[in-house]
Amino acid sequence: MSAAETSVMSDWYDAEQRVERARELFEMEQWPEALAEIDAALEMNPYNAAWHCNRGYILDQLGRLEEAARSFEQAVHLDPNDKEARLALGMDLTRLNRCAQALAAFEALERIDPSFEPAYCQRIATYTQMGQHDRAEEMFYLAQQLSEDCPDCFYNIGRSLLARGLQDKATYCFKRCLDLDSEYPDVRRTLGRIYRQRGDVETAREFYLAELRQDPGDVDLLGEMGEMFLEAGQTAQAAEKFRQMIELEPDNATGYALNARAAMLQGDWNQAIESLETVLALDPNWEDVHGLYGEALLHAGRYADAKLQFEAQLFSHADDLAAMMGLGMALLEMGQARQASQYFSKVIARRPEDPSGYFHMALCQFAQGKIHAGIALCLRTIQIDPRHLHALQQLVLAYGRLGRWSQARKVLDHALKAYPLDPALTHLKREWWYSKTLWLVRQVRRTLTGWFHR
């Protein structure tokens, strides 16, 4: 054997060793290191279809789908009969939303081997992504004729059914998928979402926890569970999930933002402010952070700081009605009623059936001494929401200031029927008698003084 032949044989042997090392690294989930080894092997022998296919699998794990698809295409080019490479190519093209090309790959696979069940099974996912659900069902039944026990088939058709709003049928398919493969990825998360949407928090929690046991470090799933608990009013449980997110990923801005929401619902404004300051430090462009921060500062009584945050939110989101409302409230608390009313007017114009805008506009009128205008706005508030407690309280006070006692008493009686134990209303009831008596005494004195001077 010549020296050149010996060198080639040595290189090929070295390439084989690198591929074996890449396989070991792949099994240890050390994807970048595995990629480096397979790339080195392909430099020595770029004509091995199986190695290009392996390179595609590694790139898939790294989330580099475009590069993975090119590797699978190269594998198919070198070996047109490589079914696994064609299958992986079609699946990646589907993920990349290049569905027409994906279908072409699966159809070529069917021509190579009409009995290859994955060629039909994976087309269910592709047709589902295209919104062609009848074709997805057709592929499901063709796949079932070849294999009745394919978990991929039941998962893929379940997604098609879910997209059509057929939750019961989808649930059956996802559970059937679990029967066939108890560790099938993401299916328990999907079932958790279905039960969450139904309002069955306990069942959803069981599925989420089962999914979490498969990957205890899944911070996105922890966040999803926490948001579900927030929706259900289980704030303490939600806060615990958000704390776990932060422990696992201390630089995850979303975890702190969600933790702030939980703190706000618990009335812990200082904790909310601290969490939102961390969000701003980690990601100043985090969606709606200025609006949330403004709300926390507003409730903490830091009105000038809240004003600045609401202004920052409106600078990037000019139509954010919550920020408009918050800015108006901050200005009102700062004694700037006229400026505040401008923002409440915008809220009313965009949301004419929301009582909050009218009520806060009423407060602006009262602050400027415009009692009749304030009363009219309170009456509009109550017309929309007859149980609006603060509008009822303000209306009693306003009628009292005008000496319209019968109207004040009528509103007070209505409010006490709705809120018999409200301390502010019971206090108003006592004040009503005192104020009415004092007002009458003053009126009598004015009358007697007038007679005396005559």
pLDDT at res. 415: 84
CA diameter of the chain: 140
Spatial contact of 137 and 106, defined as CB atoms under 8 Å apart: no
Tokens linked to 179: 């029967």
How many Å apart are CA 51 and CA 42, to the nearest integer? 7
Spatial contact of 403 and 434, defined as CB atoms under 8 Å apart: no
pLDDT at res. 406: 85
pLDDT at res. 236: 92
Spatial contact of 370 and 337, defined as CB atoms under 8 Å apart: no
Task: Profile the chain (454 residues) by mean pLDDT over runs of 10 residues.
Answer: 48 81 91 92 90 94 95 95 95 96 96 95 96 96 94 96 96 97 94 95 96 92 95 93 95 93 93 95 90 96 96 93 96 96 95 95 95 95 94 89 86 86 75 51 37 35
Token look-up 């961390």 returns 278
Say which DSSP state 354 is in.
Answer: -
212 CB-near residues (< 8 Å, 6+ apart): 218, 221, 222, 225
Spatial contact of 261 and 229, defined as CB atoms under 8 Å apart: no
Tokens linked to 313: 């939110």
Token look-up 């009013």 returns 233
How many Å apart are CA 304 and CA 361, to the nearest integer? 20
Token look-up 């029927």 returns 417
Tokens linked to 334: 């700062």
